[in-house]
Amino acid sequence: MRDNVFSKKVFIKSVKDNLMTQYRKDLSTASNQEIFQAVCVSVKDVIMDEWLATQQTFAREQPKTVYYLSMEFLMGRALGNILLNLSAYDEVDEALKELGLNINEIEDEEPDPALGNGGLGRLAACFLDSLATLGYAACGCGIRYRYGMFKQQIIDGFQVEVPDNWLEHGYPFELRRSEYRYEVKFGGHVEQEVDENGKLSFVQKNYRSVWAIPHDIPIVGYKNNLIDTLIIWDAEAKEVFSLDSFDKGDYQKAVEEEMLARNLVDVLYPNDNHVAGKELRLKQQYFFVSASIQRAIERFKQKNDNLMDMPKKIVFQMNDTHPTVAVAELMRILLDEEHLEWDEAWEITTHCVAYTNHTIMAEALEKWPIEIFERLLPRVYQIIDEINRRFVLEIQTRYPGNEEKIRKMAILYDGQVRMAHLAIVAGFSVNGVAKLHTEILMKQELRDFYEMFPDKFNNKTNGITQRRFLGHGNRLLAKWVTDKVGDKWYTDLTVLKDLTEFADVPKAQEEFMEIKRKNKVRLAKYIKEHNGIDVNPDSIFDVQVKRLHEYKRQLLNILHVMYLYNVIKEDPNVDIYPRTFIFGAKAAAGYETAKKTIKLINNVAEVINNDPDINGKIKVVFIEDYKVSNAEMIFAAADVSEQISTASKEASGTGNMKFMLNGAITLGTLDGANVEMYDEVGADNIFIFGMSADEVINHEKLHDYNPIDIYNNDPQIKKVLNQLVDGTYSANDRELFRTLFNSLLHDKEADRYFILADFRSYAKAQQKINRYYQDKKSWAKSAILNVANAGKFSSDRTIQEYVDDIWHLDKVTIDNTG
Ligand code: 26W
């Protein structure tokens, strides 16, 4: 069937027909958005058949299914990716050309569904792509936020948040399935009842409830006819509120349920690695978790009659602590609705749920006040209380008389529910996302739990999908790679190793650098259009794109730019190869220091870019609204990848891998997955600087770090810091950056991310890069070797490890002849 629709002729006809039936327009009168919608309908026709075939195969073969529970899925645009995975991209490209259309412009019409903040959400999206491609039954479960991650505008150098109304024109790839809705209950109180068999049961009374309505989004496997599903849940009021309900009885209840449904899924919390502790967020968590578990159990029961077999067919992977209320919700359903005994329910739960930790940042640990929990989820709270009671007994048996252990490990403590503890106690697997991260969890953060449950702990180093981040994002390099080593890399990234032999070949080096240059020209054009800044495609593109957070140290990067500026001002002939420092980052709306850093970057850009003395040596660009769609283009164009977090703070990082795959050379600390990238690519092809994780952790323990000493003893650093408050970058308001200045020198925990401690070592590494780039051959060789050694960082590898060690899924093949 595919061949048919994607033969050029059939496809063109189908698009034209769709334009006619949907809009009564032809190509000459339709807008690009209308053409985009028409193209999507044509593509959807193909998908529908395969989607159905996949679901039928799953129903028949009953493979074990992973339910990936995640508050965030940062999918990025679907059209291009779907075409690529259907192996129809080139045909559609040509077909559109024949119609006088440019596929990129059509793709640009798609809203970028940004239902996530950053790394964790994008990882979930890569995982779904790999699951489908590897042939596993998977169901992503998330929330259909009406407003995703805000759009960022930069106005006068400041970040301004604009709502992201991604559903404005309708989302062509979702399928609303109101027939599969579930009820989710909040509030009220619990009553004990004795049923007809004399058994005690717990019933939630006087609650408010909403419908959870699933919307299915297809996850198209790469050339294998398999289509998995991402379900995003929308909330709907149980009955449309009308004034008539005066008569029907509970007016107040009707109003409250209407309000509940209306607000529940309005907006994604734009915090990354920082909890806001808002009650609505807990409601969101319970809402999508409850609906997803209800659905999983219902599906299971359609074909199985023994619930004790659930662990053979279902695994729930909890993406960080956000969905860990799943533990108690699963218990509740098994106890109250399926009428199992506690021990049976616990047996099932503890073999069905697994937990991934994505961060060691203390401020990201989710803890909910018991008061909120109890009020919002009274029965779920009772169950958590009982899980905690039993767990505390276990601690006491294991460590008699050791109150300290209870204090440190209990799930309920100090008036709070500690979600990570709940996840670890109930989960049969606890994993970190890079080797170093997992080690830190086992030795420091979760040490007591590791001691008690060593077998639960394991590492799964993150990965990225090469289909989107090379195949789609960097078509030129993808073709070059295929020419050199064949196209097997689409499903086996380790074949990139075969590029090694080309690293030393001058012709290959030239081709590679030419592709990089073309990608830089493409990005330069984007920057000109979006930022109005001219950049030189022959300069080094030095890029830091990621969420703005103090631990990621964008401040270190920009302070170094300020330092370079001083160096050039002092000696205009200094040997500095032209460099463009490119930033892209969103700051959480309430994160003042992060927002100030954005303003600083923009003000530094303003000063430096307009100073004729600089003579094109350095330029600073802040790319507005960094998101998945422009990220693909940015990775492709980068020469230097800045991965400069304070060692021990970045759990893994995944942007680092995307840059590497696109042949950028990493400038980084030995943090997160950088450590493993270093192991793969070798010391000659990566620039490492700064303190090690152990050193950082030691300073934190000893409280012996004093940034003032560095400030006082290093005149160049002193000068840069003083420029934060002497008007150099804020002539009209010298106090503008005082908070940044103080955060480095005078706050209680001054420079808690060791920026000054690592500054010299960073500057030195930057200087090495300056020299190395001028040796074009060596640079090209290293860059090619980065691509060649990126094989490990495919999310296909990661997913296969999850399957082998945690999920134990069955491989499925879809027969497409039927
Ligand atoms: C509750 C507030 C909150 C929101 C988001 C806390 C924590 C988060 C996420 C865990 C933050 C996040 O995205 N973490 C990133 O996860 C990536 C995927 O594993 C890692 O590569 C990054 O290092 C990690 O920061």
Q: What is the mean pLDDT of each run of 10 residues along the chain (818 residues)?
A: 68 94 93 94 92 97 98 96 94 92 94 94 98 98 98 98 95 96 97 86 94 98 97 91 61 86 94 90 98 98 97 98 98 97 98 97 93 98 98 98 98 98 98 98 97 98 98 98 98 98 98 98 97 96 98 98 98 96 97 98 98 95 96 98 98 98 98 98 98 98 97 98 98 97 96 98 98 98 98 98 98 82
Q: What is the pLDDT at residue 362?
A: 87
ipTM of the complex: 0.96
Same domain, yes or no, for 319 and 419? yes
Same domain, yes or no, for 219 and 328? yes
CATH code assigned at 321: 3.40.50.2000
Same domain, yes or no, for 389 and 514? no
Q: Does residue 770 form part of some domain? A: yes
How far apart (Å, rounded) are the C-alpha atoms in residues 137 and 304? 17
Ligand 1 surroundings by CB, under 6 angstroms: 117-120, 123, 271-275, 320, 358-359, 364, 366, 433, 462, 650-654, 672
Q: Whose alpha carbon is nearest atom 12 of ligand 1?
A: 120
User: Of the residues 208, 547, 579, 619, which is catalytic?
Assistant: 547
Q: Whose alpha carbon is nearest atom 4 of ligand 1?
A: 272
Q: Does residue 522 form part of some domain? A: yes
Active site residue 2: no
Which residue range forms the structural domain that includes residue 632? 466-691+755-791
Same domain, yes or no, for 475 and 456? no
Same domain, yes or no, for 630 and 649? yes
Partners of 352 in beta bridges = none
Q: Does residue 495 form part of some domain? A: yes
Q: Does residue 53 form part of some domain? A: no
Q: What is the pLDDT at residue 125?
A: 98
Find the 18 Cα to ligand 1 centroid distance in Å: 41
Helical segments of 532-665, H only? 554-570, 592-609, 628-637, 655-661
State the total domains in the chain.
2
Find the 747 Cα to ligand 1 centroid distance in Å: 26
Helix (H, G, I), strand (E, B) or coil at 618: strand
127, 799 Cβ separation under 8 angstroms: yes
Same domain, yes or no, for 405 and 480? no
Chain centroid to Cα 581, Å, comes to 24
Same domain, yes or no, for 399 and 528? no
User: Of the residues 617, 658, 792, 797, which is catalytic?
Assistant: 658
Q: Is the dihedral of CA 323, 324, 330, 336 positive or negative?
A: negative
Same domain, yes or no, for 655 and 544? yes
Q: Whose alpha carbon is nearest atom 10 of ligand 1?
A: 358
Same domain, yes or no, for 479 and 419? no
Q: Does residue 286 form part of some domain? A: yes
Same domain, yes or no, for 577 and 454? no
Same domain, yes or no, for 456 and 479? no
Q: Which residues contact 648 (CB under 8 A, 6 or more apart)?
A: 360, 436, 440, 671, 693, 696, 697
Q: Does residue 708 form part of some domain? A: no
Chain centroid to Cα 316, Å, comes to 18
Q: Does residue 704 form part of some domain? A: no
DSSP string, 159-223: EEEE---TTTT--TT-EE-GGG-EEEEESSEEEEEE-TTS-EEEEEES-EEEEEEEEEEEEE-SS
Q: What is the pLDDT at residue 240?
A: 67
**Residue 481: its H or E element:** helix 475-485
Q: Does residue 42 form part of some domain? A: no
Q: Which of 115, 122, 273, 418 to mutate to test the pocket of ligand 1 (most atoms within 8 A of CB)?
A: 273
User: Of the residues 358, 418, 475, 617, which is catalytic?
Assistant: 358
Q: Enter the DSSP assignment of 314.
A: E
Partners of 353 in beta bridges = 316
Short-list 773, 786, 781, 792, CA closest to 686: 786
Same domain, yes or no, for 488 and 450? no
Find the 550 Cα to ligand 1 centroid distance in Å: 14
Q: What is the pLDDT at residue 5?
A: 58
Kindly report the three-state secondary structure assignment for every residue of 425-472.
Answer: HHCCCEEECCHHHHHHHHHHHCHHHHHHCHHHEEECCCCECHHHHHHH
Residue 418, classified by CB atoms within 10 Å of its CB into exposed (0-12), middle (13-18) or buried (19+), is buried
What ligand 1 atom has the least distance to the C-alpha of 117?
Answer: 13
289, 331 Cβ separation under 8 angstroms: no
